[in-house]
Homo-oligomer: A and B are copies of this chain.
Amino acid sequence: MKAEIIAVGTEILLGQIVNTNASFLARQLALLGIDAEQQQVVGDNGERLDAALTLAEGRADLVILIGGLGPTADDITKQVLAQHIGKPLVTNFQAIEKLLAFAQQRQTPLTANDRVQAALPFDAQPLANRVGLAVGAISETPKATYVLLPGPPREFTVMVEEQLTPYLLTHRGEQQVLKSKVLRFYGIGESLLTTDLADLIDAQSEPTIASYIKEHEVTLRLTAKAADDAAAEALIAPIEQEILAREGQYFYGYGDDNSLAQELANALANAHLTITAAESLTAGAFQAALADIPGISTWFKGGFVTYSNHTKATLLGLDEATIDRDGAVSEATALAMAEAAREKVDADLAVSMTGVAGPGPDDGVDAGTVWIGLAKRGEKSQATLYHFPGARNDVRDRAVKAAMFAALRAIQPQ
């Protein structure tokens, strides 16, 4: 099966929005093993859209149209397609009921334009819109199969994942599901991880193994097609186990929406431990990231931003002469910061970050040099030296992530 994506919208041609929908759909088609050799972008113009359809159906058997299903005058995709394949638009009852309920709730009348959102080409299969009003559609004709999808990314991605993907799996004569598992790693680079796993990646079939880098972390996505969820999970499990056996020391959690902060918050809650921090170069970024997690207030009560030697002394009670002697960026200062913060807040755990974010060296210490300290109630404190690459913000972000990972491992030793 060959697919072609046509994104419809003058706002894309003017560069007002980026065509992320095409990218998302392309990834999904690749996962499904469907070739998509061309993409087009056309404006809200009937003639040019019609020409784009003629072009696409000449080189693909699955033509996917994105955008232009809304209620305004420039939303013409559905109308142009219906005319192109010679089928009238008919109202879909479930979609019109949803529109009526919405209008009633808003106490506004439903206009003729509004109603178009519930229409689809005669004998097309509707694609319900769980998070919006415009209904999608699949229209099978002898020439090609046409798919209509809404443009707003939230409506689009849900419809692709929940409606189009199952259709495509079935349509290809395979009663199958597509299942993904996302593994998240910290502290290892993408090239090293994929080199370690080269034999698995080279031999991949079901599941496929794809690696991504995002914000100084590496993610692996294992994806399998199978008859049902259980069968897909059974395909994924042995590969996942092998990966964890090799790379477990860097693994910290599952899921696209997961984060080191989320896993640290979970670990604190499970272990009933409170945490605090004394931050120098990161200046509050660790604490702010942890406080992104709802419900953290039970385990995080507050902490310190000690950007200068003087505030390390006045806020934490460290001796300024000792800091000057040992250096602000030193094992001794990192340990003292973590221990003082833990005692002052009376927390179970404290992390400290002190280093040089850059640009350029500070006081003879190279940019990227960071000491991270960790104090735990009843245990010996520890500090670790890091040399982080990158610009000022990269160094600060890497320091926050390293401190989160260190705290996580202090709660859940391997």
Asked if A136 is at the interface of the complex by the 8 Å CB criterion, the answer is: no
Contact across chains for B27 and A23 when beta carbons are under 8 A apart: no
Is A359's CB within 8 Å of the partner chain B? yes
Contact string, A11-33, partner B, CB cutoff 8 A, digits 1/0? 01111111110111111111000
In contact, A304 and B307 (Cβ under 8 angstroms): no
A39 within 8 A of B: yes
Of the candidates B18, B281, B310, B357, the one whose C-beta lies within 8 Å of that of A23 is B18
> A307, B291: Cβ atoms under 8 Å?
yes
Contact of A284 among B48, B279, B315 (CB under 8 A): B279
Asked if B30 and A23 make an inter-chain contact with CB atoms under 8 angstroms apart, the answer reads no
| A18-B18, A39-B40, A41-B38 known; A302-B311 Cβ under 8 A | yes
Whether B311 contacts A345 by the Cβ 8 Å rule is yes
Q: Are B19 and A15 in contact (CB under 8 A)?
A: no
Closest-CB distance, A382 to chain B (whole angstroms) = 23
| Contact, CB under 8 Å: A307 / B301 | yes
- CB within 8 Å of B: which of A11-67? 12-20, 22-30, 36-43, 45, 48, 55
In contact, B30 and A25 (Cβ under 8 angstroms): no
**For residue A364, which residues in chain B have a CB less than 8 angstroms away from its CB?**
none
- Contact at A42–B48, with CB atoms within 8 Å? no
The segment from A99-107, A166-174, A177-185, A292-300 that touches chain B is: A292-300
Give bound CA distance, A345 to B301, whole Å.
20
Asked if A385 is at the interface (CB within 8 A of a chain B CB), the reply is no
Per the bound structure, the CA–CA distance linking A15 and B40 in Å amounts to 14
Contact yes or no, A25 B19, CB < 8 A: no
Nearest chain B CB to A250 CB, angstrom units: 23
- Considering the chains assembled together, what is the distance between the CA atoms of A291 and B43 in angstroms? 44
Chain B residues positioned under 8 Å from A45 (CB to CB): 37
Cβ-neighbour of A302 out of B12, B30, B307 (below 8 A): B307
One complex includes copies of this chain to the number of 2
Q: How far is A178 from B39 in the complex, measured between Cα atoms in Å?
A: 31
Residues in B with CB closer than 8 Å to A345 are 311, 314-315
Cα distance A27–B18 when bound, in Å? 10
Query: Does the CB pair B310–A301 fall under 8 Å?
Result: yes
Given that A279-B284, A307-B300, A314-B345 are contacting pairs, would A15 and B27 also be in contact in the complex, using a CB cutoff of 8 Å? yes
A14 to B35, CA, bound (A): 9
- What B residues does A292 contact at CB under 8 A? 392-393, 396
CA distance A279 to B291 in the complex (A): 11
Least Cβ–Cβ distance between A360 and chain B, in angstroms: 9
Contact string against B for A residues 64-106, beta-carbon threshold 8 Å, 1 for contact and 0 otherwise: 0000000000000000000000000000000000000000000
- B19 and A18 within 8 A (CB): yes
The answer to whether B314 and A344 touch across the interface, beta carbons within 8 angstroms, is yes
| Docked-complex contact B291 and A288, CB < 8 angstroms | no
In the assembled complex, the Cα of A302 lies from the Cα of B308 at a distance in Å of 7
Scoring A292, A301, A396 by chain B CB atoms within 10 A of each residue's CB, the highest score goes to A301
Known: A15-B25, A39-B13. A283 touches B288 (CB 8 A): yes
**A43–B14 Cα gap in the complex (Å)?**
23
Q: A15-B25, A15-B28, A37-B13 known; A304 and B315 CB under 8 Å? A: yes
Chain A positions near chain B (C-beta within 8 angstroms): 12-20, 22-30, 36-43, 45, 48, 55, 277, 279, 281-288, 290-292, 294, 297, 300-308, 310-312, 314-315, 344-345, 357-359, 392-393, 396
Q: A39-B39, A284-B303 are in contact. List 15 more A-B contacts (CB 8 A).
A: A13-B37, A15-B24, A15-B26, A16-B27, A17-B23, A18-B19, A38-B40, A40-B40, A284-B287, A287-B307, A288-B288, A291-B357, A303-B311, A304-B304, A314-B344
Contacts A/B (CB < 8 Å), 24 sampled:
A13-B37, A13-B39, A14-B26, A14-B30, A15-B26, A15-B28, A18-B18, A19-B22, A22-B41, A40-B40, A279-B284, A284-B284, A284-B288, A284-B303, A285-B291, A287-B307, A291-B307, A294-B359, A294-B392, A300-B307, A302-B307, A303-B311, A315-B315, A315-B345
